[in-house]
Amino acid sequence: MADRVLVTGGAGYIGSHACKALKAAGFIPVTYDNLCTGWEQAVKFGPFERGDLMDRARLDQVLAEHRPIAVMHFAALSQVGEAMREPGKYWRGNVTASLSLIEAVIAAGIRDFVFSSTCATYGDHDGVVLDENTPQTPLNAYGASKRAIEDMLKDFGASDRLRSVIFRYFNVAGADPDGEVGEFHQPETHLIPLILDAVDGKRPALTIHGTDYPTKDGTCIRDYVHVMDLVDAHVLGLKRLREGRIIPDGGTEVFCLGTGNGFSVREVIDHSRHVTNRTVPMTEGPRRAGDAVKLVCGSERAMSDLGWQPDRSTLPQMIADAWRWHQNGGYDR
């Protein structure tokens, strides 16, 4: 009988791709999701349990029923703009909810935990390439809430009751090349799907948020990683935990997942024009609150220690996969 892995947020963008990768690796992914932003139709690779992370009784029940050997924790609020407007929602929805999950997981006797963190925990660092040792000085409640969860995991790791692998990544893009799952947010705030919406007329134009940043073309720079590469790293992290090849710093290990290559908003638009062979209607607007100028991270540690190979993470490939999904995929309530 295959081992089960509880995937919180398994109905969301990255979580649903993680479920596909877990199934391919021989696990049964059990999705735990309250569908606040996820889609039941994205749960295709294992059982679905609807529930909220704050609902401890429901969590206990699901853990007892499925007896997962590990947890992958993706469920989170993740919009920077919303986090600036409603910080309390992020501290409660991310930090308090994760504490509830961690305590339930430990009570169920599960020791292995893979956590989806973010380069938003770093804040601005004057354009340096970020790595696992860069100080974390987040600019917004989203990044701050994720950093707090990392701290929590380190404390639980040091207490020897939980072992965690923490992944920090930022701009996830692309879609399952088989078209089974893809990116579908409502509302959509991410650059590539918004560009594709503008390309095929679903919205009038893309607004570039800020053209006066101190970068080569005035727009923000980000490091884009293919969602399939990203979830591969999660499976490798899980295997590392299961093999007990762990861990300095109590029971916690951190890996940055990026390509080390930064692309400006204008460069992403240019690549999108080439991939789709269509014009990208756009306007220039003011900066978006909470945005860092440049976020690029190296991933030497993930490559050397996990054997991670981000081989789909070129911008044309990510945009092409996203475009295929955009034209053929999508979910509706």
Q: Which pairing describes strands 221-222 and 294-295: parallel, antiparallel, or unpaired?
A: parallel
What single-letter DSSP state applies at residue 228? H
With CB under 6 A as the rule, give the number of residues binding ligand UDP: 16
Which has the closest alpha carbon to 254: 321, 148, 191, 169?
Answer: 169
Residue (50 or 288) nearer to ligand UDP, CB? 288
Residue of this chain nearest to ligand UDP (CB atom): 220
Q: Is 56 in the site for ligand UDP (CB under 6 A)?
A: no
**Candidate list 43, 265, 297, 315; residue touching ligand UDP; CB under 6 A:** 265
Pairwise CA distance, residues 45 & 229, whole Å? 18
Q: How, if at all, do strands 4-8 and 28-33 pair?
A: parallel
Among all residues, which ones are annotated catalytic? 142
Q: Whole-number minimum distance, CB 287 to ligand UDP, in Å? A: 8
Site for ligand UDP in 113-172 (CB under 6 A): 170-171
Distances, alpha carbon 11 to alpha carbons 8, 17, 75, 129, 307, in Å: 8, 9, 9, 32, 27
Among 206, 225, 230, 275, binds ligand UDP (CB under 6 A): 206
Question: Please, what's the b/e burial string for 281-318 (b: 16 or more CB within 10 A of its CB; e: otherwise)?
Answer: ebeeeeeeebbbbbbbbbbebbeeebebebebbbbebb
Report the greatest alpha carbon distance in the chain.
Answer: 57
Binding mask 208-247 for ligand UDP (x = CB under 6 A): xx----------x-x-------------------------
Q: Least separation, in Å, of the C-beta of 80 and ligand UDP? A: 5
In the complex, minimum distance from the CB of residue 264 to ligand UDP, in angstroms, rounded to a whole number: 8
Of 93-101, 157-165, 185-193, 251-259, which segment contacts ligand UDP by CB under 6 A? 185-193
Contact footprint for ligand UDP (CB under 6 A): 80, 170-171, 189-191, 194, 206-209, 220, 222, 265, 288, 291
